[in-house]
């Protein structure tokens, strides 16, 4: 599947969300357009992200890891911008989704946007209310998990990259929501 969108993440010890990430973004843009930084050379990453572009890194702990991680990811994004119209970067447990009332999915949204723009998604954390949502989060995350808390801190871009669509703990433009005591309830068909 040819695509003008690349998606980048870094993962360590998170098979559950890597599987969801590959399924979601691979379904939209094709696995060959996904870039997974494998922190720790985990065999699980090679298996789950088969068909994606995998970059292995040593997994030892070191000072300033988060700054180094984002410097690496942003450097990769800068390079990919030369080849793709849009580049999305975020953690493996972050998903950018569109309001289905306006765009059927992220691929359609980006197809309507010209390159060279930065889009900042609305940041929402999915909250598990065990007494209201006992179901497991399979096959979808937002089906059984319908409550979210807005985190304005996570809406800030760490680096403004011309031509990049960056995410930080993000769901993009989740509409179909109802606010209730600081939580947001989302429609289950979104993701």
Q: What is the tens place of the pLDDT at every residue in 132-176? A: 888 877 666 666 777 777 765 544 333 333 333 333 333 333 322
User: In which order are the strands placed within the sheet that holds 147-150?
Assistant: 124-127, 147-150, 183-186, 177-180
Written as six digits, the tokens of 64 are 């300033």
User: Where are the strands (E) in the chain, listed by range?
Assistant: 5-11, 34-39, 53-57, 86-89, 124-127, 147-150, 164-166, 177-180, 183-186
The total number of residues shown for the chain amounts to 191
Which range among 20-34, 58-72, 109-123 has the greatest average pLDDT? 20-34
Q: How many other C-beta atoms can be found within 10 angstroms of the C-beta atom of residue 79?
A: 12
pLDDT exceeds 90 at position 45: yes
The C-alpha atoms of residue 91 and residue 14 are separated, in whole angstroms, by 11
Nearest to 37 by CA among 25, 53, 51: 53
Predicted confidence band of residue 11 (pLDDT cuts 50, 70, 90): very high
- Residue boundaries of the structural domains of the chain: 5-186
Nearest to 123 by CA among 162, 143, 145, 96: 96
Q: Could you tell me which residue, 185 or 108, shows the higher pLDDT?
A: 108
What residues have CB less than 8 Å from 126, skipping those under 6 apart? 141, 142, 145, 147, 148
Taking all residues of the chain, what is their mean pLDDT, rounded to a whole number?
76
Q: What is the pLDDT of residue 130?
A: 79
Q: What is the pLDDT of residue 170?
A: 32
Q: pTM for the whole thing?
A: 0.77
Q: What percent of the chain has pLDDT over 70?
A: 73
Q: What is the mean pLDDT of residues 115-121?
A: 77
The C-alpha atoms of residue 110 and residue 85 are separated, in whole angstroms, by 9
């Amino acid at each position: 599947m040819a695509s003008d969108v690349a998606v980048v993440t870094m993962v360590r010890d998170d098979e559950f969300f890597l599987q969801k990430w590959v399924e979601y973004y691979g379904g939209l843009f094709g696995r060959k357009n996904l870039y997974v930084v494998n922190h720790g050379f985990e065999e699980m990453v090679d298996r789950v992200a088969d068909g994606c572009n995998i970059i292995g890194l040593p997994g030892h702990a070191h000072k300033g890891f988060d700054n180094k991680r984002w410097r690496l990811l942003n450097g990769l994004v800068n390079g990919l911008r030369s080849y793709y119209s849009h580049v999305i970067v975020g953690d493996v447990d972050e998903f950018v989704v569109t309001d289905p009332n306006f765009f059927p999915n992220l691929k359609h949204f980006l197809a309507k946007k010209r390159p060279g723009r930065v889009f900042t998604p609305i940041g929402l954390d999915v909250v598990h209310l065990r007494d209201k949502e006992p179901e497991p989060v399979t096959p979808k995350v937002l089906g059984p998990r319908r409550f979210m808390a807005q985190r304005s801190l996570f809406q800030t871009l760490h680096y403004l990259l011309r031509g990049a669509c960056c995410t930080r703990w993000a769901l993009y433009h989740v509409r179909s929501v109802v606010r209730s005591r600081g939580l947001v309830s989302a429609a289950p068909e979104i993701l």
